[in-house]
Amino acid sequence: MNHKEPIDKVYRVLIPLTLVQYGERMKKSTYSAPSVQKAFKILHAIADSSSGVGVSELAKQLKIGKSTVHGITNSLEELGVLVRDPVDKRYNLGYTLIEIGRKNYGRIEWREVARTPMERLMEKVGETIFLGIMNGDHITILDVVESHNEMKITSPPGTRLPLLAGATGKVFLSQLDEKKVREIIQKVGLMKFTSKSVTDPKAFLKEVSEAKERGYAIDDEEYLLGVRAIAVPIRLSPLPPAAIWAVGFTSSLNDQKVETVILEIQKTGREIGRALEGRLK
């Protein structure tokens, strides 16, 4: 999926009702908060765009000072309300805004849909299962089902991970077109997390291509020494790229177990994708 494809179907509906109502009340109030009003103008301008909007364009379009737009968009980005493309620096609405909107509209709730399938998957494979979404130049963990193992890998929901790290980076990029993938690799760069990290762009591109073809990616100690991960994409246009992945120590997620985990996690990824697709209809 092209990350810049129109996503109005979701974003227009999911601008938080409570915030819009609050903004309308402020207009009628004797008290005015100009910064909040400007922030709403910026959000609406970005929601109306199918390809994102840059700071200069927002300032010109809304007749707001560029420094003011820069300050507001920076704050909204820190909160996850906006995401900035790492290559062209254009802003799109972020996952935080969508999630708030979902609470009001009862539309898509990732964790509500994915939690039970993730729990079943964890019981089958015995490893920690993560759900995450591509959020600008990083990955945001949305939910975690921890392994029952005494020694396990875990991170709390909300944790941000590097976009180009291990199996997750490969499956997220596998959902984008090649031109976009090359731009992100060039802009973000391939970090050497361990001695096994893939830092050569050509080699990494090959693994992204293989992940796209196979429908999964494997991380063999590329992000953390002694740790393996297997990730699969959740393909659901027009939403941003998402994925689930299983993580465990190499002693537990061994060679004999990998094939079983691949089969089971692919089934779970498809199950979650179908359930989410049903929520969008």
Q: Which fold has domain 8-104?
A: Arc Repressor Mutant, subunit A (1.10.10)
Q: Is the pLDDT of residue 16 over 80?
A: no
What percent of the chain shows pLDDT beyond 90? Answer: 49
Indicate the burial class of 241 (C-beta count within 10 angstroms; 0-12, 13-18, 19 or more).
Answer: buried
Q: Is the pLDDT of residue 25 over 80?
A: no
Instruction: Kindly state the helix (H) or strand (E) to which residue 249 belongs, with its residue range.
Output: strand 242-249
For residue 88, the one-letter residue type is: D
**Taking the domains of the chain in order of start, what are their residue ranges?**
8-104, 110-280
Q: What are phi and psi of 26, to 5 degrees?
A: -65, -35
Among 45-54, 93-102, 185-194, 228-237, where is mean pLDDT lowest? 93-102
Look at residue 268 in the predicted model and tell me its pLDDT.
97
- Residue 117 exposure: Cα atoms within 13 Å on the Cβ side: 24
Taking the model in full, what pTM does it have? 0.65
Q: Which fold has domain 110-280?
A: Beta-Lactamase (3.30.450)
